[in-house]
Amino acid sequence: MTTKTPIMGFNEIVKILPHRHPFILVDKVLEKIPGPDFATNRTGTKIVAVKNVTINEPYFQGHFPHRPVMPAVIMLEVMAQVGALLCYRPTGERFDVAFVGVNEARFRKPVLPGDQLVIKMDCRKDRGQILVFGGQIFVGDDIVAEAEILAKVFPLIEN
């Protein structure tokens, strides 16, 4: 269980991510370490975030009623949302980040109601509009999932 004071809470996260209930999957950000050239390139930037998993998650009703397990695709979405938070620059342009691909995904242990996920992501490549993130999800000291996430940055269209 993490007790570290967050650098970003839920109220700040919803100002950055476009997701809303029931699809906002990040509860808090514990740390963000900018890469050496973060103002122009996100490569090398790292982030650590938390998702608390409860039995109230809507996907547990059908996955599976007799043995609730977090779906693997939801774990990938958690990593993608944390990657989008990694991209955020408080003084930079506003943008949306879309999940466009996944490589080398591995799901090592089931995630169950009551688990606290600690998501660690790093930006491996920043090619302007295309980003490559590496990520791992931990429950305690155990890696439960890992993947390489590809994303595309789009200018934010204001309504």
133 has which bridge partners? Answer: 123, 149
63 is catalytic: yes
Cβ(95)–Cβ(155) below 8 Å = yes
Distance CA 80, CA 2 (A): 21
| 15, containing H or E segment | helix 10-16
Give me the catalytic one of 19, 21, 63, 66: 63
For the chain, the first-to-last Cα distance in angstroms comes to: 39
**Cα–Cα distance between 43 and 86 in angstroms, integer?**
10
Instruction: Yes or no: say if 111 and 53 are a contact pair by the CB < 8 Å rule.
Output: yes
Catalytic residue numbers? 63
